[in-house]
Structure 1
Amino acid sequence: MIILPAIDIREGKCVRLYKGIFEKSEIVAESPVKTAKSFEEAGAEYIHVVDLDGALKGEVVNIKAVKNIVKNVKVPIELGGGVRTIETIDKLIEIGVKRVILGTAALNDKIFVKEAVRKYDDKIAVGIDAKDGFVAVNGWLDISKVNYIEFAKLMEYIGVKNIILTDISKDGTLEGPNFSMLQRLKESVKCNITASGGIKSIDDILKLNDMNLYGTIVGKAIYSGNVNLKKAIKRSRD
């Protein structure tokens, strides 16, 4: 399992949210580039980046910050937030983003997902952000009536190989991930699954590692000092 340290960008700065509430965003670092470099130095194999402004506006907003990260680190970057068109994916791949995450667009436009997967295959991931088991969209502001398992199965059928599952109620809480939710997803699809939301300790990471997931995204636990990224990466490889 790989550990993907997270950089959430809002107005060009690194922030963390609490349960997806934008009003409760907290600046955790001024420079996304410096943060990405620190992750690279700690041994990160992949970095997870979210354009929070883009998620709200429906288009990638912090493209300059993303470019600067890609330019200054050798670690591959995955990016989500506001990706709604093939042209946007083209642009992100062109500037060096290695994997593009579809969220709201994946739920609203299945033809778009098919086209993206056909063109870019495993460079496309789908982020399933769920609240009470139902998929949330538009920067987590709107909750659909679509169950996360049903949605994951549909994405797998379309050809999506990577799914990132976030339990919104756990995100930014340091309360531990929703292991049962992740287990149900793992039993339902054959896609690579990345866990996101709630990681509080290296023990959480090791438990997810034992579940044979593809990856886990760690954000607040790193910024708060609960998890030492370098040690966590080493422990997960032992």
Structure 2
Amino acid sequence: MFIYPAIDLLNGRAVRLKQGDYSQKTEFSDDPAAVARRWVELGADRIHVVDLDGAKAGKPINGAVIRAIVEAAGVPVQLGGGLRTDADLETVFGWGVRWAVLGTKALQSPDWTRTVAKRYPDHIVLGVDAKNGFVATEGWLEVSQVKAVDLAKQVSDSPLAALVYTDIAKDGMMSGPNFTGLAEMKAAVPLPVIASGGVCTLDHVRRLIDEGIPGCIIGRALYEGSLDLAAALALTRPPQ
């Protein structure tokens, strides 16, 4: 299983939100590039970045910071938040981002999502953010009437790199991931499913591995020290 340490950007700083609530933020660093270097030094071989300003604005915002993260990390970077046009994708890939995560626009235009997946095979990730099983959009500020699984099925035949499944109720709450929702999503689509939200103990990581989930994103637990990144990575790799 691949582990993606998360860096969430708000006003150029590394923060974490609770349940996607912009008013419940904790600031962890004013140097996100240094945070990326720290995770890589501990063994991370990929980084997950969310442009929270971009998610709210509907376009990439923290370009200079994201470019600095890409350069500092030296490992593949996955980016989500406000990516909704061909120009947005061209821009972020120009910044050196490896994978672009599409959320709101994927719900609004599945056809466009399929088109860009074919244009950038294995570089587009479907971001499915769910609240009570329904897709949330606009930086989690709106909840649609579309079931998360149904959205995933609409585009799952495209050459997407993966699917990031986030249960908003779990995000930043340190209460464990939604294993039931993850299992349902994994059974519904042929894409690799990346777990996001609530992963905060080694037992959570072990269970995800046991259940065949090929990736997970970890945020608050790393920043607050309740989960050691090196120990989590050790679980995913064969002994030397």
TM-score above 0.5, yes or no: yes
1:142 corresponds to which residue?
142
1:37 corresponds to which residue?
37
Separation of aligned partners in 2, 1:196 and 1:81 = 15
TM-score normalised according to structure 1 size: 0.98
1:233 corresponds to which residue?
233
Percent of aligned pairs with the same amino acid: 38
Counterparts in 2 of 1:1-150, with a 5 A limit?
1-150=1-150
Question: What is the Cα-based RMSD across aligned positions, in Å?
Answer: 1.0
Separation of aligned partners in 2, 1:3 and 1:49 = 13
Separation of aligned partners in 2, 1:98 and 1:42 = 21
In structure 1, the residue corresponding to 2:16 is in which secondary structure? Answer: strand
Tell me the CA shift for residue 189 of structure 1.
1.0
Runs (4+) of structure 1 moved beyond 2 Å?
157-161
1:77 partner letter: V
Q: Deviations over 1:160-192 (max 9, x none)?
A: 341000000000000000001101111111101
Specify every segment of 5 or more residues in structure 2 that has no aligned partner in the other structure, as ranges.
Answer: none
In structure 1, the residue corresponding to 2:222 is in which secondary structure? Answer: helix
Separation of aligned partners in 1, 2:182 and 2:110 = 23
| Count of aligned pairs | 238
Counterpart contact for 1:86–1:112, Cα < 8 Å: no
Moved more, 184-193 or 132-141: 184-193
Specify every segment of 5 or more residues in structure 1 that has no aligned partner in the other structure, as ranges.
Answer: none
Tell me the CA shift for residue 91 of structure 1.
1.3
Separation of aligned partners in 2, 1:161 and 1:37 = 24
Counterpart contact for 2:5–2:219, Cα < 8 Å: yes
1:210 corresponds to which residue?
210
In structure 2, the residue corresponding to 1:43 is in which secondary structure? Answer: coil
Separation of aligned partners in 2, 1:150 and 1:110 = 11
